[in-house]
């Protein structure tokens, strides 16, 4: 059986790549500390020695459009090209090519459908920065096969928060029942409070530091019930108009498990939004 060796939840900040590679006058003052934090976070994945990465993210109106919008979608392909023209233009992200773990994609689709999730699929998926950012931060050598899973946090009507948690629990069950002798890590990215295209965007901090503090507490303590009791599709408008990306953190809490404290927690208060990094070791971190 496969073993779930690490569960990682992270923000995906598209400016990290540019900030971390800038030199001289172009290098922002917050870059060195950011790189230090990301490299420490990367070590939490490295030491789990994964063979396969299940990557949870969200397409930002790149391949998926309002004429055909999946709620939850699994990529099943041998390769995934990555990053789009507008991400290159705005964030300086490079074009990338990732390898797919196609047999695990097939397993997740078949077993996920049978477990009550009517998952959409794609056999030709170009992935965006919600998945490439954590590759850049956590596995820059890009040497592991992936299973991409996309959620709709972007184009209402959205699934309810509890559905994200349930999908996380199901993903964990599917990985742990996959009859292959592989070490699997799940990496999911989302946002804390975030505003894009509204009056609270690009402020000196994230739009709602109080929400961010609560969110970090929910995630790091594994308080799924507490989180679900306060977070609704309506309430997520209040901390910032792009805060529904927090539901991908809730999905990752579902993967990690109720009451399961994170083994590694770090945050970094940047302008515009707070960075947050969490790692759980389901087997206690033994190798």
Partner 1 sequence: MSKYLLNKFLYTVDRDPELVERYREDPRATVAMWETEYANRILNCVDGESSTWLRFDDTEREALAAHDYPALFELGAHPFLTLTLFIAMFERDHEPMGFQTEYARRLAHVSMPYPDIAT
Q: Site residues (CB under 8 A) for partner 1?
A: 60-61, 65-68, 84-86, 89-90, 154-157, 196-203, 237-238, 241-242
Of the pair 197, 284, the CB lying nearest partner 1 is at: 197
Report the nearest approach of partner 1 to the CB of residue 79 (Å).
Answer: 21
Are the C-beta atoms of residues 54 and 146 closer than 8 Å to each other?
Answer: yes
Of the pair 85, 114, the CB lying nearest partner 1 is at: 85
Report the nearest approach of partner 1 to the CB of residue 98 (Å).
Answer: 21
Are the C-beta atoms of residues 160 and 219 closer than 8 Å to each other?
Answer: no
Of the pair 232, 283, the CB lying nearest partner 1 is at: 232
Report the nearest approach of partner 1 to the CB of residue 195 (Å).
Answer: 8
Neighbours of 129 (CB within 10 A): 25
Report the nearest approach of partner 1 to the CB of residue 256 (Å).
Answer: 28
Report the nearest approach of partner 1 to the CB of residue 94 (Å).
Answer: 17
DSSP 156-214: SSPPPHHHHHHHHHHHHHHHHH--S--EEEEEEEE-SS--SSSTTTT-SS-S-HHHHHH
Of the pair 68, 229, the CB lying nearest partner 1 is at: 68
Calpha distance 56→248 (Å, rounded): 7
Of the pair 113, 238, the CB lying nearest partner 1 is at: 238
Report the nearest approach of partner 1 to the CB of residue 64 (Å).
Answer: 11
Of the pair 42, 62, the CB lying nearest partner 1 is at: 62
Report the nearest approach of partner 1 to the CB of residue 263 (Å).
Answer: 33
Calpha distance 80→71 (Å, rounded): 20
Nearest to 159, CA basis, from 247, 227, 86, 83: 247
Of the pair 29, 116, the CB lying nearest partner 1 is at: 29
Strands 72-75 and 120-122: parallel
């Amino acid at each position: 059986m496969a073993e779930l060796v690490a569960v990682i939840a992270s923000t995906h900040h598209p400016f990290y790549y540019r900030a971390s590679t800038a030199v001289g006058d172009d290098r922002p003052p917050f870059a060195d500390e950011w790189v230090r934090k990301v490299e420490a976070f990367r070590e939490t994945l490295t030491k789990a020695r994964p063979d396969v990465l299940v990557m949870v993210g969200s397409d930002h109106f790149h391949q998926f459009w309002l004429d055909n919008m999946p709620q939850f979608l699994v990529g099943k392909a041998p390769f995934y090209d990555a990053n789009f023209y507008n991400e290159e233009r705005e964030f300086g992200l490079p074009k990338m090519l990732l390898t797919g773990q196609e047999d695990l994609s097939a397993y997740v689709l078949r077993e996920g459908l049978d477990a009550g999730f009517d998952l959409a699929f794609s056999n030709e998926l170009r992935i965006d920065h919600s998945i490439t950012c954590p590759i850049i931060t956590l596995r820059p050598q890009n040497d592991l096969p992936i299973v991409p899973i996309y959620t709709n946090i972007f184009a209402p009507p959205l699934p309810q928060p509890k559905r994200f948690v349930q999908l996380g629990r199901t993903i964990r069950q599917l990985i742990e029942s996959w009859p292959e002798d592989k070490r699997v890590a799940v990496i999911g990215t989302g946002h804390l409070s975030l505003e894009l295209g509204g009056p609270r965007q690009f402020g000196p901090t994230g739009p709602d530091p109080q929400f961010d503090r609560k969110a970090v507490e929910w995630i790091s303590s594994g308080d799924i019930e507490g989180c679900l009791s306060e977070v609704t599709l309506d309430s997520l408008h209040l901390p910032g108009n792009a805060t529904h990306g927090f539901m991908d953190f809730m999905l990752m809490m579902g993967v990690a498990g109720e009451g399961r404290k994170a083994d590694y927690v770090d945050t970094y208060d940047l302008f515009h939004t707070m960075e947050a990094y969490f790692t759980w070791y389901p087997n206690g971190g033994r190798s």
